[in-house]
Each structure stands twice: as C-alpha cells, then as structure tokens.
Structure 1
Amino acid sequence: MKTKITQFFKFVYYLYYDGFVNMKVGKTLWLLIAIKLFVLFVILKWLFFPDVLQEKFHTDQQRSQYILNQLTKEN
C-alpha cells in the first residue's frame, strides 16, 4: 500500500517538475505572479497598514491590555 502511494506522489512530482523545466513562457508568467504577490503583500502593507499598536503603546503590557479590552467590550 505504501509503495503505491509513494509511487503516486513521485509520479505527480515528476509530472510537475518536468512540465516546469520544459516551460518557456510559463517561467516568465510565474515571475510576474511572484512580483505581483510581492507588491501586494509587502509593499502595500508597508505603505497602507502601519503598525498602530507600536505607535500608540510603548510596552507589551499596554498593547495586550488594549487588545483584551477591544475583544471583550460589549457594543
């Protein structure tokens, strides 16, 4: 049973590996996807989502107390 599962995963791995190695246009598309994800998750976070807790509070105790109050307050 283990050998069939192992063979299956090896087959899937080599299928994708061989497909990726023989790509021409696909590598460029993967590079564009990687650049886009980098811009979305790193650059935009840095520009538009500052670390508010770090700016408002000086100690971890103050930060944790603020978060606890925000999570447990009733509307």
Structure 2
Amino acid sequence: MKLSAIYRFYRDGFSAMRLGRTLWTVVAVKLLILFGVIKMLFFSDTLQSRFDSDEARQEYVSRQLTGTP
C-alpha cells in the first residue's frame, strides 16, 4: 500500500466527520501545551547557565561522552 493512499484514506475519513477539524484542533493545542510545559519543567538549559563559552561547553560534553576526567 502506498503512503499516498494511506494519507488519502485518513484525509477523506476525517474530512467527512462533522467534528473532525475541531477535534484535530483540540488535539494539536493539547500537544503544544503538553510539550511546552514538559520542556519548561524538565529540559532546563544547564550548559548555558554553567559555562560561559562554547569551548567550555564542548569540552564538558566531550569529557562526559568519552568518560575521561
């Protein structure tokens, strides 16, 4: 089955729904909010706050990946 056939199947199915666009909009908004909150809470910019230069960040990441002290 071609990828385009799968796309058309879902496109036609959701366009025939009465609330299809509204539901997809709600899903998209919820995902944006969810990922935005997760990014703010769990993925802080540690390297930016701990190191002043790009060279220091590169050296730190290199040492962490290779396991050298």
Query: TM (normalized to structure 2)?
Result: 0.70
Report the identity percentage: 43
Instruction: Please provide the CA RMSD for this pair.
Output: 2.4
1:71, distance to aligned residue in structure 2 (A): 1.2
Matched, 1:21 2:21: no
1:24, distance to aligned residue in structure 2 (A): 1.6
State the AA in 2 paired with 1:29: L
Where in structure 2 are there 5+ consecutive unaligned residues?
Answer: none
Which has the larger displacement, 51-60 or 13-22?
A: 13-22
Structure 1, residues 39-67: CA drift from partner, whole Å, max 9, x if none?
Answer: 22223202332100000011111101001
Structure 1, residues 11-53: CA drift from partner, whole Å, max 9, x if none?
Answer: 4443332222222233232222212211222232023321000
Number of aligned residues: 68
| One of 42, 46, 64 as aligned partner of 1:70 | 64
Aligned to 2:54: 60
State the AA in 1 paired with 2:27: I
Where in structure 1 are there 5+ consecutive unaligned residues?
Answer: none
Aligned to 2:24: 30
